[in-house]
């Protein structure tokens, strides 16, 4: 399975600011996804990060709030913009690579917004 | 689209007890089925998977069988340990080449000595 790292692992941010989360994979992968896990909740898919084109967002998530980049097959970023306390969550990236349909997850970024 | 119904928690068991966490799903295609585990303070790890009917996924003493006739993928372990304390998520894909997972609500398991 791919080795996935995320930066930062955690952060505490002020209301109204933005945070960019990085996801790096040690090998080229087919698909990359971003999820949100609110406290005590399950995972919700934010978007599919598409290499070289705009991300595909799920219902309830918009590009202005969660801009995503994926410049190549091993790297993606998610920005949480104009943050509010409701954005306090764990943000996880996941990847699918090769011939498998299995998703592997990064360690997550724990975000607290004050 | 997919939906998944997972047994509500929390579940508290004594060490060496038998564990079952029920999971049923709806899917229009032929989904792949996954169980993920989240240990306290950590990210998600793949526990096991099954990709077609009657397949049995297994790992770390856990097992789950892909039951197409009942659209179920129940997780079982014969003898749980304290180290199994975690949150368990059932997640199918839609199949037909789509990789998007739909996660159940998660079942928190606590194993006491």
**Cis peptide bond N-terminal to B15, omega within 30:** no
Given a cut of 90, whether residue B43 has pLDDT beyond it is no
Residue B87, pLDDT score: 95
Instruction: Please compute the mean of the pLDDT values over residues B40-48 and round it to a whole number.
Output: 91
Task: Indicate the residue of A103, A107, A108 with minimum beta-carbon distance to B101.
Answer: A103
Q: Answer for the pair A106, A23: CB distance below 8 angstroms, yes or no.
A: yes
Contacts of B36 in chain A (CB under 8 A): 105
Instruction: Please compute the mean of the pLDDT values over residues B38-67 and round it to a whole number.
Output: 94
Instruction: Please compute the mean of the pLDDT values over residues B23-28 and round it to a whole number.
Output: 89
Residue B96, pLDDT score: 67
Q: Could you give the angle at the alpha carbon of B38 between the alpha carbons of A105 and B55, nearest 5°?
A: 75
Given a cut of 80, whether residue B90 has pLDDT beyond it is yes
For residue B39, the chain A residue with the least C-alpha distance is A107
Which residues in chain B belong to E strands, given as ranges?
A: 3-6, 11-14, 19-21, 23-26, 33-38, 44-50, 56-59, 62-65, 75-77, 86-92, 107-112
pLDDT digits (tens, 9 = 90+) for B61-79: 999 999 999 999 999 999 9
Pairing of strands B11-14, B3-6: unpaired
Residue A97, pLDDT score: 78
- Residue B28, number of CB atoms within 10 A of its CB: 10
Q: What percent of chain B has pLDDT over 70?
A: 97
pLDDT digits (tens, 9 = 90+) for A61-75: 999 999 999 999 999
Instruction: Please compute the mean of the pLDDT values over residues A17-43 and round it to a whole number.
Output: 93
CB contact under 8 A, B89 and A106: no
């Amino acid at each position: 399975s791919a080795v996935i790292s995320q930066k930062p692992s955690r952060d505490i941010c002020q209301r109204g600011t933005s945070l960019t989360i990085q996801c790096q994979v040690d090998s080229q992968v087919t698909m990359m996804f971003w999820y949100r896990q609110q406290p005590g909740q399950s995972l919700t898919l934010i978007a599919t990060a598409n290499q070289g084109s705009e991300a595909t967002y799920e219902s309830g998530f918009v590009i202005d709030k969660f801009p995503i980049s994926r410049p190549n097959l091993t790297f993606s970023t998610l920005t949480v913009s104009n943050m509010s306390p409701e954005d306090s969550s764990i943000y996880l990236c996941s990847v699918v690579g090769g011939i498998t349909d299995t998703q592997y997850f990064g360690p997550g970024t724990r975000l607290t917004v004050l | 689209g997919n939906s998944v119904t997972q047994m509500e928690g929390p579940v508290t068991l004594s060490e060496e007890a038998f564990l079952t966490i029920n999971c049923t799903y709806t899917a229009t295609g032929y989904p792949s089925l996954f169980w993920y585990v989240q240990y306290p303070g950590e990210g998600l790890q793949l526990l096991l998977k099954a990709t077609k009917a009657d397949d049995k996924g297994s790992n770390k003493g856990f097992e789950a069988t892909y039951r197409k006739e009942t659209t179920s993928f129940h997780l079982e372990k014969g003898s749980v340990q304290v180290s199994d304390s975690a949150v368990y998520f059932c997640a199918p894909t839609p199949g037909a080449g789509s990789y998007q997972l739909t996660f159940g609500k998660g079942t928190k398991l606590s194993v006491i000595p």
